[in-house]
Chain A
Amino acid sequence: MTDALLSVRDLTTEFATPNGSIRAIEDVSFDVESGEKLGIVGESGSGKSVTARSIMGLLDENGRIANGSVELGGHDLTSLSERELTDVRGTEVAMIFQDPMSSLTPVLTVGTQITETILEHRDVTKAEAREQAIDLLEQVRIPDPESVIDTYPHQLSGGQRQRVLIAIAISCDPDLLIADEPTTALDVTIEAQILDLLEDLVSDRETSLVQITHDLGVVAETCDRVAVMYAGRVVEQGPVSEVFVEPRHPYTAGLLRSTPRIADVEPELLAGNVPDPGERPVGCNFAPRCPHSTDDCHVDDPPLEPAGAASRPSAEGRDAAPAEGREVASGEGREAASAEGREVACVRTDDIGTLEPIPEAKREQTATPEVGPTIVEGERVEKDFSSADSLLDRLLPGGEPPVRAVDGVDLSLAEGETLGLVGESGSGKTTLGRLLLELTDRTGGEIRFDGRPLAEVPEQELRSRIQFVFQDPNSSLNPRQTVGKILRFAIKKHDAATDVDDRIAELLTEVGLDPETRHDYPHQLSGGQKQRVGVARALAVDPDVIVADEPTSALDVSVQGQLLDLLDDIKRERGLSMVFISHDLSVIRHIADRVAVMYLGRIVEVGDTRGLFGAPQHPYTEALLSAVPDPDPGAEVDRIVLDGEIPDPKRPPEGCNFVTRCPEAMAECESHDPELVANDDGEVACLLHHDVVRGESADGATVSDGPPESEAGDAARADGSGDSV
């Protein structure tokens, strides 16, 4: 272990708070060999980011390293002065942050910020530094680096800013890169690009990488080894191919089993919450949630110890190389994984043995629910956001074209059905949801509720029959009202006669909260609890339809699972219909009966969940599905990485909206705008699939000349990716 590039030993970091000092992380130890990629995975409150910041010496003022050492290339970083640390940062270790906007200075050009770092650490002239900066931008695959170098951060998209940050991080050839949730703020297709880029850069330069993330899929796809953190401690570490296939710590297994997957399995619930630092239990931190806990677990914090293969019945496999772990898993007589670098912090490891990472429960065949009558229906729905707000803008001719957020969408929701609306940011999915509730005005088209156009539905009726569950737990509840008061208003508004107090208690119980929660203010609740209150508020008026906009995107995996189950139960019990909006395909897979995929203001494909996930028809759906990182390291990776980013909705491309990024694009895609056309497996808006339909329905208007299938596509593809920026 002495040859490790980074060696963290017993690292303990404390934060001073008004209520005394709190240990954010305790006794964290791990090694990173040179060229190795380590993933640190955990939910919020696990201390994974604090670990990274402690290594970099970037703790906030109130934090301090109380114990332990961080050795990088032989010297202890914890004993260095701030000056010496500054030298180390950049040349030996560099960090990539989650939020590229706040890590770049808005008033300096991208070029200045990159050259600054180079000039700081290298002895070069300004002109040389600029050369190098352009070269770096090229390496991070930014198109047209010569002009991008003179732009300001706000002129770039989120993905490009992240690339710039990566360029800065690698500018001085660090030996170790620490990436703190580098792709969390990005869309799936952009995430795939960035992960690809990171992987290539790291292996080309033989840099070591510490990837900090909450996403097991990201770890499985990009890392060699993984350290799982829970409540400030590393609970298990080892090669990804072993830990994710044969987890040994109950938490690792629970996390793996509760993660919604694209694959055909029902995620399991992991009950409870991560304890706050300062409220951690005596003994094993996981004990209150652990299905295997006994009295022994409540005595001491279990130390991280090498987990031998002792408990395995077959001892022959002991020297099996880690790489073999994968096939071991699929084979029947599983051999014991090699103990090399495999450590677990659990007193009962030997009794428990290895655990199953994938829940047994196969997804029940979501029998397409008896399709009730259509309750909500949209026809050619349109929404433009005009930027011409000021008088001057209105007077001046030309100006900016409006943003087409929703561009002629047809959709229908049957009674008792859950429709998943999936898309990346800028696809218009949230706007569409808001349009259904008339939270924003339509620009065109018609929405019918119960067969009547919205204009004819009395306001009072509409408000009591369709409700919204919001995304951000910190913004969806009025911070100055108690939970009781929030619900009281809603109940009284729609049914003045009921006994309000009883109803409040009833609603809170229904969403799985203690009725006493009514006295709390939102800031006293956890994110999951707040979202439950949001659900209770929506239920207070006894609605028939609920539109849920990313209700779980701000929550941790285990809490997300609990909320999804709650929504599903409530929907079933009350016979609700639901529109579930999400960017997360695995979540949609879990909860929706039918799925509509949106891209650039249009629905590009609709189908029942099983069919659409099993055999996507539209090239965009296909790419989206393949881009979702799968937590199973054995899953064969056949990722389609889309080029470019979503085009500016003010200037959508001619022809098919997706033509600038479509791997299958053909020449006619640039001139023909495909309609959403029904076929056996759903509805799809792609010329590839229209051929069939056209033959049958004799609807020759869409495309006049029969396109040769994919040969012509190659030429078009080259064009397409050329424009894509």
Chain B
Amino acid sequence: MSAAFGLHFGSTSACLAVYKDGKTDVVANDAGDRTTPAVVAYTDHDQTVGLAAKQGIVRNATNTICHVKQVIGKSYKQHEKENSTSGSYAKVINKEDKILYEVDYKEKTLHVSPEEVATKIYKKMMETATSHGDGDIHDCVLTAPRDFSSQQRQILSDCATKAGFNILRVINEPTAALLAYDIGQLDIEEYCNTVVYRLGGVSLDVTVVTCCNGMFRLLSTVTHADIGGDSFNDAIIEYFCGEFKRQWKEDIRGSKRSISKLKVAAERCKHTLSTLPESQCHVDSLYDGIDFNGKISRARFEGLCSGLVQRCLNPLETALKEAGLQKNEINKVILTGGAAKTPVLQSQLQNYFPGAELLNSTPPDEVIAVGAAKQAAILTGNENHESKQNEQETEVECIVSPIQIKLMTDDTATYSTIFPAMMPVPGRRQRKIQLGPQQTSCVLEVFEQRDEENRILIGKVVLRDLPVQSEVLAVFHARREGSIHITCTEKTSGKHADILIEVE
């Protein structure tokens, strides 16, 4: 059976997950890692992609290209404006307002376009895919950040098709995160608001998504391009430089090489700190021959980046405001992105959303790929042209205000919502209501809550001379054109009554 792949191409690393025979798992690449660094390096005899390229960054910085995703599809002016030059070391040149990297490869200067780099990385992922899957056609779902324009998404899918994938669809990263945890897929009546908190290598974005009737709606997104995992590395580097200065009275911030060496060691430290309380950092001949041995505990690390963590939480405020939800209305928080592993961040988030359930069972940097794989599984079922058509038709009509029914619990009226607000039509809900001991007749009152306080009665269903201890099954069916059809039946006596509420 042809396997269904989900491919997440982040700015720092790429991850591939496969859905096969009912299970989804991440495919490890030839080096055995579950994520491949999205780095391409040009040396004088060959091009390397992935971990090898990243390891060569210390010596071969000028010919190494990373963070290519930030540049995909952007014009030079746009890139300059955002001056997101934090990542890539390779020289960026401008050719008719298009961005090109200038690297020397085999003693020749070579102009490489971001698209080519992306294709190379996709090809690397293709190798991982072929090594795993036995099928020859590789159906694949790509993910893209929400603010990616359709043109950028087209570029991504072109590069992937060039690499050999058969692209089914390009979905948003937050949606993939939700799919990974099967939110809204199991129980159609599930209604929950989720916050997807993504702290990637170079960028942080917070998205609020509501899931109703099995469909997702992205309410708001806030992105900060200047904060990411790297900023945590920088904090550690600062600390180690201070240490070095204290021990050897040498300020190593000036020399680029030692900084990049320290950077690699710092990153390793950070990873170990996510799991262990303390981690060693050893760099030999860090600065004119002196070896450096540093130690950092988690407490100190948290102390160092308390400011950073605070900055990470700011966007939550704005996102919630934009979505028009309160903190307590959020049911779930999903952590994605490599840097979201840091425990301090997770604890902070938990405090911030006391009522919400923090989902981090799947490793944060693989969540999006897993979600994409599940989506691919769904799509491999039907024909290609259909799924392509569905992708465009994302317009859905919804019931505006919630529909509730009045229930009496020991003579206090409570209103239980049948259809939540903005529920896509058509939809169907059922309620089984047990009648009182002597009750022989019942009335079902249906209300529509237009806004906070006024709730208007829109319909009543009455059943009379029911047998004792009877059970009434109420079926609410929201039709496509908007009208709601409510039927109440009593199984034993076969009595039933129904009303049809029109739409304005």
Do A and B form a real pair?
no
Chain A positions within 8 Å of B, measured between CB atoms, are none
Chain B positions within 8 Å of A, measured between CB atoms, are none
